[in-house]
Amino acid sequence: MAEQRHIRVQRARAQAIGGGVRCGGVAEVLARVVGVQAQDPASAALGVRARSVGLAAGDVRWAVENRVAVRGWFMRGTLHLVAASDVRWLLDLLGPVFLRSGERRLRELGLDPKLCARAERLIGLAIAADGPLTRAELTERLGTLGVPTEGQAAFHLIRRSALAGQICYGPEGDGPAARARFALLDAWLPADGRLPWEGETAVVELARRYRAGYGPSEAQDFATWSGLPMSAAKRAWAAANSDLPDAEGEDAAEAGDVRLLPAYDNYLTAYRSRELSVPAAHERQVWPGGGQIRASIVVDGWAVGTWSCGVKGSAGVMVSPFGALSAGVEDGVAAEAADIDRFLARG
């Protein structure tokens, strides 16, 4: 038990969600954890907040609008917010993996290779002609090829183009009805023809970064987080292990560091096992099914409840603890809730 507690606290420190560790800006957060999971942009921003100090939601938007950070499909073929400098080598490494694994789903949707190629060409031409386009606008264009505009077919074709390095999420547009828009990757992030890591060196670099930002951990954890085949993950792990310690700094004692992690947070998706992060008796409260992962209250990396966040003008942060909380933890929850209100400018 003491060993598990030690590993958990070290992981929380590595993730900048415990041990008093916080980052100073968006770029620093992304450098530390490789990418913040970003199916929901609002949750991604809150994931940055949980690992930093003094930032506001506008700082995350600024980082995206100014091409410091880019939202796209990377680890596990899932949406993440990553540093712009990491986009191309991560796509070069991971894109082919998830393009191959996605072929079966495309066939199930009735999307044969010829139609996929036509769709990719149409997406590129449409964005080149009319500027960044929303998912709905691209779906409408794909409908002219006979792609169903209802269901998941258009989404998978758009994701396919992103994994192939043709497009990426770009600007959101202006106004209250602003929606994320897709831009041509080469226009949004002009390439200089060089990749800092390629092939095996890229896999090793990803393993090295994972170990630094998620350790102590094992090759199986790295494979779970990255989505890479186990054989490749193990080879890279062995190479990366030769020159990198498992966790930074000295041993960390539990100090009651409370963080409110958003839904789908990295910390809750980055390991093959949940036993070090969430009590078994409360797993269903964090993972209720249907692919959901609820926003969680963690103390030194150990989940002690869930929380939800009301819209502007509502009750704000509402907590659902698994049991009685100590006075110190309650104070930490209150401080985090106030910081979320500040971050979202709701105060």
| Averaged confidence pLDDT in the chain | 91
pLDDT of residue 252: 46
Q: Is residue 195 predicted with pLDDT exceeding 90?
A: no
Q: How far apart are CA 33 and CA 160, in angstroms?
A: 25
Rg over alpha carbons for the chain, rounded to the nearest Å, is: 21
- Residue in the structure block whose two tokens are 């971050």: 343
CA distances from 58 to 63, 322, 345 (A): 9, 32, 9
What 3-state DSSP class applies to 83? strand
> Looking at the chain, how many residues does it have?
347
Cα–Cα–Cα angle for 77, 127, 164, nearest 5°?
Answer: 30
Rounded CA separation 333/338 (Å): 9
**Residue 255 host element (H or E):** none
Residues in CB range of 20: below 8 A, 6 or more apart:
255, 257
Rounded average pLDDT over 302-316: 77
Q: In what order do the strands lie in the sheet with 258-261?
A: 258-261, 296-299, 302-309, 317-321
The answer to whether 343 and 49 are in contact (CB under 8 A) is yes
So what's the pLDDT on residue 280? 94
pLDDT in tens, 60-107: 999 999 999 999 999 999 999 999 999 999 999 999 999 999 999 999
| Residue range 158-169, pLDDT digits in tens | 999 999 999 999
The pair phi, psi for residue 37, each rounded to 5°, is -60, 135
Please write the tens of the pLDDT for every residue from 122-137.
999 999 999 899 999 9
Q: From CA 75, how far away is CA 210, in angstroms rounded?
A: 11
